[in-house]
Amino acid sequence: MSEMEWSAGKISNDDFKSLIFERTGRKRQEVITGPQFGVDTSVVDLGNNEGLVLSSDPLSLIPSLGMKASAWLSVHLIVNDMATSGFAPQYAQFVLNLPTSLSMDLFNEYWKYIHEFCHDIGVSITGGHSSKIEGQHSTVCGGGTMILKAPLDQILVSSGAQPGSDIIMTKGSGLTATSILARSFPLHVVENCGVTVQEKAAENFYKTSSLKEALLASELLEPKRELFAMHDATEGGIVGAVYEMAMASGCGFNLDLDKILQREEVSEVGKLFAIDPRFCVGAGSMIMSVSSQCTNELINGLMEAGIHSCKIGEFTDRKGIFFVSENNQRKEFEPLDSDPYWGAFFQALKMGLQ
């Protein structure tokens, strides 16, 4: 038997199915939504039309970004997943496996921001685990889980996208990838793109929460009848998120790459690091499956709140058939093996860019 290979980033759909999907412990009938590729949350039926929503993600500790930015990623990447339910998280558990080199002062700063960001969105930290680990040199310093309780019949999951519905995206592509690159290698970006581009790209970092638009969308439209599903754009970017959503929902899609929103500074940083932001880590943009009759209502409602959004395609009933168009040319879509951001970031580190 040949040795399995796993490139950087999240596990592939095929490997997930073969390694994890059939090995999820005891089956319990109250688990309505369990582990599934492309699904942000799990849902448990508590009875009396009450549902429990849970989601977990890695925690970030990136020295080049600083403690505040690391805490923001740690909290809001999980919040974004929870927001796809149409509700805000209420409780959190954090497991910290910190490097021994981390000083108590830096940990104090990191945890202060974890507390503040959770407090600001109404999340109570209910427990976890904290320790230092020898040999811990990764930018992933543990994991977190968030939980909420909500009316079961109003909870959305990303596997609920409907054939014939419009695909809506918010804000813009590549916000996370390009903002981290601009913050991690500021001199390189300034020298090649100018001060304004570097500053704007870096400022995008704190626009990577999609909680506001998710909650607003679920207020503007009726969940499951007008707003069918939402999915947070993380690894693989906007296109990867649409692909994951379609796979989870048993749909196909037609996607117009030319319509994907992209800020000028995002494009400039993407060109500098030779990545296409449409296919790179894009937290901060929410992908939505929306009834075509409600698309304009949603876009206008979001715009009134200062959130740009647009239609970028449609989900279809052709399961597993994915098409993208660009420059008036249409072709079948094949998912990338890994997010290009990872290669760009580590290559820049190897080159000693600053």
Segment 10-69, tens digit of pLDDT: 777 778 888 888 888 999 999 999 998 889 999 999 999 999 999 999 999 988 889 999
Would you say residue 311 lies in a domain? yes
pLDDT at 20: 84
Within-domain flag for 246: yes
Of 132, 154, 176, which residue is a domain's last? 154
Do 207 and 271 lie in one domain? The reply is yes
- In the structure encoding, which two tokens stand for residue 319, read together? 């399961």
Shared domain for 172 and 103, answered yes or no, is no
Q: What is the CATH number of the domain that holds 257?
A: 3.90.650.10
Is residue 147 located within the same domain as residue 227? no
Question: Which residues form the domain of 106?
Answer: 28-154
Question: Is 253 a domain residue?
Answer: yes
| 243 and 293 fall within a common domain | yes
pLDDT beneath 50: ranges in the chain: 1-2
Question: How big is the CA angle at 264 (ends 260 and 270), to the nearest 5 degrees?
Answer: 80
CATH number at residue 71: 3.30.1330.10
Check: CB of residue 62 under 8 Å from CB of residue 70.
yes
- Domain for residue 320, yes or no? yes
pLDDT for the residue 193: 98
Residue 61 sits in the same domain as residue 86: yes
Kindly state whether residues 188 and 147 are assigned to the same domain: no
pLDDT given at position 2: 47
Residues 55 and 139 both lie in one domain: yes
168 and 115 assigned to the same domain: no
| Cα distances (angstroms) measured from residue 136 to each of 73, 97, 132, 142, 289 | 19, 8, 8, 10, 40
Q: Are 178 and 112 found together in one domain?
A: no
| pTM (predicted TM-score) | 0.93
Statement to judge: residues 191 and 327 lie in one domain:
yes
Instruction: Provide the pLDDT for residue 5.
Output: 65
Coil, strand, or helix at residue 213? helix
Question: What CA–CA distance (Å, rounded) separates 242 from 236?
Answer: 9
Kindly state whether residues 202 and 112 are assigned to the same domain.
no
Q: Is 144 helix (H, G, I), strand (E, B) or coil?
A: strand
- Angle, CA 35 vertex, CA 33 and CA 39 arms, to 5°: 75
In this predicted structure, what is the pLDDT of residue 8? 60
Of 209, 201, 144, 212, give the one whose Cα is nearest residue 177.
Answer: 201
What is the C-alpha separation between 308 and 190, in angstroms, rounded? 27
Assess whether 254 and 229 both reside in one domain.
yes
Count of the separate structural domains present in the chain: 2
